[in-house]
Structure 1
Amino acid sequence: AAAVRAITEGKTGYTNNAGIDELRAAVADKLKRENGIEYTPKQVLITAGGSGALHAAISSLVEEGEKVVFNNPGFVSYGALAKLAGGVPAPVALRPDLHLDVEALKEQFSDKKTKVMVLNSPANPTGMVESAETIRAVVEAAADSGVTILSDEVYEKFCYGDTKFVSAATFGDNVVTINAVSKTYAMTGWRVGFMAGNQDIIEQAVKIQQYSLACPTSIAQYAALEAYTGDQSSVEVMKAEYAARRELLISGLREMGIEVAMPEGAFYAFPKLDAETVTKIVANDVIITPGLAFGSLGDGYARMSYAASQDNIREALKRIQQVVE
């Protein structure tokens, strides 16, 4: 309705390169109210999804030959965006429990070429959520070495059971917070996200956006404004449904004897499956991504999304059973 209203009211032209003022203010308010972190509207850049925020942030921070640290296995875009900026991808192995290895990260931070770390919690593809203690340790270690943390928080609303989400910027001002309406409000195709951080960083990121995108789509920004300021009850409904799907998928995989950690957040499972089995599952018309797509240490795993109906998950489990029995 908000998007339709924006169209009928003729709000279809270019906006400020940094986004409409109302949305920047709404994001700043959301971050203070829900995350306990304070930014002024001028410290918020509205982007074309979380991907646009990552691109603008990495491009504005990383110089030729500087390192961008992220977890291995980790989201596919981080290394590619580092290369696009002239940087060097520096994937760091997760612990066997698929959580961050703080000591290994500290070693990377000690390298003077390391400029940025992308912290993703809840994580894609593993579904793991880092504790407040771990996030504090990472942020403080990065600060000690002059490394900027890009905190990719797009799955923040989807933490299950007793798992708690915490924003990295709670623990230091060397953090750029990145988020989007894509996952929280199921608005993936609208392409609206944001980055919030130090004013100097935002000013440089605006230049990247100005000359690569101009601005996010105007009507999508007004839809995002309604998402952030309107009724939030749908988010909890969606989270409850994801939790039910998580239980269905994980219990089904375990009943087949497939080893899989219980996801703590996001909407992905990361079971242990060899490449040959994954190929056979794909051939049986199940959408599943080989772990190698997420880094060298994803070998022997596969990512499954439970952002699908329970009926489709049940059918997928039947087809997987046909392969592994």
Structure 2
Amino acid sequence: MINPAKRTNTIELSQIRKMFEATKPGAINLGIGEPDFNVPQNIKDAMKKSIDDNETQYTPNKGYIELREKIAEKFKKDNGIITDPENIIVTVGASEALYISAQAFMEAGDEILLPDPSFLLYESCINLAGGSIVPVDCKMENEFKLKADDVLEKITDKTKAIILNSPSNPTGAVMEKEDIKAIADLSMDHNFLIISDEIYEKIIYDKKHYSPAKYSDNVITINGFSKTYAMTGLRIGYLTANEEHTEELFKIHQNSIACANSTAQKGAYEALTGPQDEVHKMVSEFKKRRDLIVSRLNEMGYETVNAEGAFYVFPKIEDENFVKKAADAGVVTVTGAAFGSKGKGHVRMSYANSYENIEKAMDILEERVVNG
């Protein structure tokens, strides 16, 4: 075997995907972070039309200008971010946006502040870029919300960036406005970058989303269409940053991806400009499922924070064999340790599954794992 590049030594294959691919037939999957809804019909129709119209050539490297114009309007309306279409890049999902952010700005010797627990892709992107991870605890007593005071304690003269994710995968935590603004202020005072992953922005219950780019110029704001519009397989994300930062990001994007999928970009345009009824229905259904899974887990004695966004709960379950027991009983979950050292003693469960299946899964856990 030819030796791989040393950088791959720092990377492990996704434990989430391992669980997903090992799912037994008939098992209820509470492990995968993917909406169980279909792409809204108006978006499908727009993509079908684009193919019929032969709009299948390369697009501009940054994405169709009309799509970037609508994204700029969305940023202003929803996030209070004033940006120009030239400072927006349409990416192959939010994952590419995260990867190019790391490649453009991180290198050996840089310290990157990372919430613990957090989505496992962040750690991989940092490691591939050569950065050093400095974890910042997201404590259960704070409902897993990242606090500005905890961030301040970890800042040094080597701090290059921090990754924020609100609402959070894996905890469902939604950061408070005062912490978002305080961290934005810190980024200006100490001259570090904020990489703000806002992919779950629209899936929030009884709270409001705040973007750090409203308060700081040192921010790369990342979003996409996968979660809000159930467009996971279509791989369309986007980012914005100031002009200087965008130029560096564009170097990586242009020389690795060229452009995002043309047909999916047409669907994304329709997603932003068309009716939002299906989004509202989806979020309302997620909230009902959240209420169900939280109440059932607490009733079983697994302390569970009432997650305020996304579609995950992160119950405290200290039985190290729980995930295996649950899988053997027919319910797929993910060990919290996959998301950082502070995830140990927790389990991530996704409620991106039907209400009926969640009810059935909770019955199985209660009968065969808790009381079995």
- For the aligned pair, the TM-score class normalised by the smaller chain equals over 0.9
**What is the CA deviation profile of residues 113-171 of structure 1, one whole-angstrom value per residue up to 9, with x for unaligned ones?**
2111111111110111011101111111122111111111111111112x211111111
- Give secondary structure in 2 for the equivalent of 1:69: strand
Note if contact 1:68-1:79 (Cα within 8 Å) is conserved in structure 2: no
Aligned to 1:107: 153
CA distance in 1, matches of 2:247, 2:46: 29
- Identify the match of residue 174 of structure 1 among 199, 218, 225: 218
2:307 equivalent to 1:267: no
Check whether the contact 1:72–1:298 (CA below 8 A) recurs between aligned residues: yes
Match of 2:269 in 1: 225
**Residue 20 (structure 1) aligns with:** 64
Which residue is 2:183 aligned to? Answer: 138
Partner of 1:184: 228
Aligned residue number for residue 172 of structure 2? 127
- Which one of the candidate residues 202, 206, 213 is aligned to 2:246? 202
Shift of 1:285: 1.9
Query: 1:43: which partner in 2?
Result: 87
Residue pair 1:277, 1:324 contacting (<8 A) in 2 also: no
- Which amino acid in structure 1 is aligned with residue 151 of structure 2? L
Report if aligned partners of 2:50, 2:263 keep a CA contact under 8 Å in 1: yes
Q: Which residue is equivalent to 1:3?
A: 47
Structure 2 residue 352 is matched with structure 1 residue 307 = yes
Cα deviations by residue, 1:219-253 (Å, 9 ceiling, x for unpaired): 11111111011111211111100000001111111
Amino acid at match of 1:193: G
Q: CA deviation at 1:279?
A: 2.0
Q: Tell me the TM-score normalised to structure 2 length.
A: 0.85
Partners of 2:323 and 2:51 lie apart in 1 by 45
Which AA in structure 1 matches 2:167? P
- Is the contact made by 2:187 and 2:216 (CA closer than 8 Å) also made in structure 1? no
* CA drift at 1:64: 2.4
Find the partner of 1:160 among 198, 202, 205.
Answer: 205
How many angstroms apart in 2 are the aligned matches of 1:225 and 1:183? 15
Aligned length: 323
For residue 254 of structure 1, report the CA deviation from its aligned partner.
1.4
Contact (CA 8 Å) 2:323, 2:332: kept in 1 or not? no
Task: Give percent identity, aligned residues only.
Answer: 42
TM-score normalised according to structure 1 size? 0.97
Task: Pick one of 67, 70, 76 that aligns with 2:120.
Answer: 76
1:85-137 alpha-carbon deviations (Å, 9 max, x no partner)? 1212222111232111322211222x122111111111110111011101111
Aligned residue number for residue 151 of structure 1: 196
1:288-316 alpha-carbon deviations (Å, 9 max, x no partner): 11000000110000100011101110111
Gapped runs of 5+ residues in structure 1? none
